[in-house]
A and B are shown apart, each in its own frame.
Chain A
Amino acid sequence: MANCSQQQLHFVISPIPIPRVVNELQHLKNKICVFLVFLAAALPFNTDKAYAQSATEKGLQVAKAARAAVSGFDGLTVELEMTLRNRQGNESRRALRLKTLESPSSGDKSIFVFDSPKDVAGTAFLVHSHKNKPDDQWLYLPALKRVKRIRSSNRSGSFMGSEFSYEDMTTPAVEKFKHTWLRDEACGNLTCAVIESVPIEKGSGYSRQVGWFDTASYRTWKTEYFDRRNKHLKTLTYSDYNRYGGKHWRAAKLSMVNHLTGKSSNLDWSNFDFGVKLSDRDFTQTSLRRIR
């Protein structure tokens, strides 16, 4: 073969890449969240119940207890199926896997992997949660083998076209609401404390939420969401509670109904594993690239 360096070269230009934007699943990446409402870090649990309390004190105490009830694990893996249903009853499904490492001191770490729809299968998110600064998030696109650091999320938009917003999925710290105890009332065989929570920070899509928490284990049974005009917008119900490892109560089914649109979205959780051994090394950019 000729040694081309000895020849007179005529530079001719190749057909070139016409730039275009690769779709980075904007719909996913800005909405991904931690589902930490179910997995969240432990917060101080005020057990001091002996004193007579104001409605505000009692509201805060129940909110903290409910939050503590879903904390106190190390590692967790779980599978999730989301079913979206429109007013005509047409269904659409999303399936994903999630693993989380709880770390009350440095913030939780999570990885989400999508299995369906097929056009996003293999797409994965890595989230490093922080208490006092925005979360760090990375997106892995398997077709391009690209890891991209992405901005932290928007709160009120729809999560993957569902009736859940980002805000619904993340539930910020207990301290970011003003909680008021409204009443105790029967819920099934249990007694529930009904707590109204008004967001303190701007940016919420809601004027207030009302939650039903049983006084036995502080499990959440229902949340009603009111829009900025104080209209009852959505209702989330929790059911099929199971206890894992003798202490971790989790609802297997969550159902969100939008009263304005008639649409609903169900979350079905399965294969909870609280015994899984995870470490910080499972939540790095390098491990994100290995995800299947």
Chain B
Amino acid sequence: MTSLKPVSAEFGKLLLRLVMFARLFSAAFAASCAFTVAAQDVSNWDVQTAGKVAVKGRFFSDNPLNPSQSSHHGELTFEPTIYLEHSGGNSFAFRPHLRAGRSQANAAAADIREAYFLTFGNTDTIEWEFRLGIDQVFWGTTEATNLVNIVNQIDYAADPFGDERLGQPMAHGTIAGDFGILNLLLLPYHRPRTFPGFEGRFRAHPWISDNSSDILYEHADEERHIDFAARYGASIGFLDFGISAFKGTAREPVHLPIDCSARQILSPILTQNNNCRLQQIYRQIEQGGLDLQLTVGDFLGKAEVVHRSGFASDGSYNAFVVGGEYVLYSIFGSNADLTLFGEWIHDERRENATNALQNDLFLAARYNLNDVGDTSFTVSIVDDLDYSTQTLNLLFERRLSDSVSIDLESFMFLKSPTAEDRAYFPLRDDAFLEVSLVYGF
């Protein structure tokens, strides 16, 4: 049996980290707030609140690889949003993310997903916008993965599928007009990626440490290194495209085992204590990206391509996703729609790739009943073209009332990964069923 760290201690540590992280931006943020509030009539502010509370349980059917890992995971998430808008158009948004849970390190977490000041305006031909603070930026068109989406760090502790992202401090300027949309971002602070921790499931072996002493940066400025990102997007008829660039600290870490014996390296699952671990090392990288979408009738064609350099001394590499989706309306004479997805993900490093999608086919179908509860079923399969691995993901979503909805999700292997599939192999016993209830207010 594993003794779990008290949630409160875990929470305290994370809150402390959050405070340190927030401190950096609070000064600039407060200054801009003070300036704006002083400059404008306080009575002209409109306040809106919203948010959600989610309860989630994840149950693993197989025994864990390492006896320290849990058999189930439960968590409670609270994510309120406070939004202040001035009649003149300037606004503030604040969206903290608070999570309490057990059976997984990092189950308790606090993050600021958004806390920014926004101002905008236009001339006859140009529209501009400026955001300062912590925000989320999404780039990309494809479904299986978004290679070009580099601004915000992935929060794997919050979502094993990587759909959750940490708040990113930034100054973000936008200029738009008939020529397209140009985004320029200055990113002065790096957020390390989150992972499930020693007791968590769906993790690497050895486990990935998030102790600050295990998070290393290539650049002497460490997390204070100033990164730059930019994207230019435009539409030509049926085609939407974006060209993006990033220079700075990688979002994806390189991992280095530490305090591991030779035996533990060979059989990391035998590790009985958490000394043997992986450090997170963040290199200085450059990324160029291209995202495309073709919108033709009931078909969407999509592609993302990236060129990256700096991850390893042996040069740069390319990766791409290409595919599409097609919708069949009113199938079987009902109100229901069926949407089909297919994508091919390819990383030219192949067996040396640092993620699971080095050469994979992604196939999915979503069946929407279009009923009062917006019921939908989604089936996704990933077929590894280099290795034998096949994964299956089933998702059921339904609204129970105006404010409550339920998700049932299951993940399993149709074909178990073999040792050569180094990305999936550590997850081979991590098939799960997840139930989540979300209350919105």
Contact = CB atoms under 8 A, between A and B. Distances in A.
A186 interface: no
Nearest to A5: B218
Contact of B441 (A2, A118, A134, A146): A118
Nearest to B142: A19
Given A92-B402, A290-B129, A118 B440 contact: yes
B327 to A, nearest CB: 7
A15 B399 contact: no
Interface string A5-18: 10101111111111
B368 to A, nearest CB: 4
Contacts of A23: 366, 376, 378, 395, 397
Contacts of B141: 148
B300 interface: yes
B36 interface: no
Interface string A124-162: 000000000010000000001111111100101110110
A119 B438 contact: yes
B257 A10 contact: yes
B337 A154 contact: yes
Interface string B313-339: 100000000000001011000010101
Contacts of B235: 149
Nearest to B345: A19
B257 A157 contact: no
Contacts of B208: 14-15
A84 interface: yes
Given A13-B204, A16-B355, A7 B256 contact: yes
B78 interface: no
A31 interface: yes
Contacts of B254: 4, 9, 11
B304 to A, nearest CB: 13
B371 A161 contact: yes
A216 interface: no
A30 interface: yes
A21 B295 contact: no
B218 A26 contact: no
Contacts of A145: 136-138
B222 A151 contact: no
B218 A13 contact: no
A10 B380 CA distance: 32
Contact of B216 (A2, A122, A290): A2
Contacts of A93: 402
B257 A119 contact: no
Given A118-B403, A286-B176, A18 B382 contact: yes
A11 B354 contact: yes
Nearest to A118: B440
Nearest to A92: B372
A17 B403 CA distance: 29
Interface string B238-260: 00100000000000111111000
Contacts of B203: 15
Interface in B143-161: 143-145, 154, 156, 160-161
Interface in A17-34: 17-23, 25-27, 30-31
A151 B341 contact: no
A4 B370 contact: no
30 contacts: A4-B216, A4-B254, A7-B256, A10-B256, A12-B204, A12-B256, A13-B423, A15-B427, A19-B393, A20-B143, A20-B161, A21-B364, A21-B380, A23-B395, A23-B397, A26-B337, A26-B339, A116-B403, A117-B440, A118-B50, A118-B441, A119-B405, A149-B240, A149-B295, A151-B295, A157-B330, A157-B337, A160-B374, A161-B373, A281-B122
